[in-house]
Amino acid sequence: MRWYMDSTNSRSGGKGTMRIIADHGVCIGAGQCVRTDPSLFDQDENGLVKILHANLGEGKLNSAERASYVCPAQALKLAYE
């Protein structure tokens, strides 16, 4: 398992900073995350997910939650830091 990238959000209800984390070790390059929000996700030359924003605003948090839900490889996770 290789977690490589995160994005943050301050809307965490005092639990800390919300982050989205992508695992290149399980990403299969299906691109569902990019279709969910191409302004937040992209794919590299190997088709693996790239997270484009360092900070998750309100809209990006919703997109991140949706992408995490639809990812067929469960390669995206939301976590508080």
Residues that bind ligand SF4 (CB under 6 A): 22, 27-33, 43, 49, 71-73, 75-76
State whether residue 34 is helix, strand or coil: helix
CB-nearer residue toward ligand SF4: 32 or 63: 32
CB-nearer residue toward ligand SF4: 27 or 56: 27
User: Cα separation of 81 and 54, whole Å?
Assistant: 14
Q: Provide the minimum distance between the beta carbon of 13 and ligand SF4 in the complex, in angstroms, as a whole number.
A: 26
Q: Provide the minimum distance between the beta carbon of 70 and ligand SF4 in the complex, in angstroms, as a whole number.
A: 7
User: Cα separation of 72 and 18, whole Å?
Assistant: 22
Radius of gyration of the chain (CA): 12
Which residue(s) pair with 21 in the sheet?
Answer: 6, 77
CB-nearer residue toward ligand SF4: 13 or 54: 54
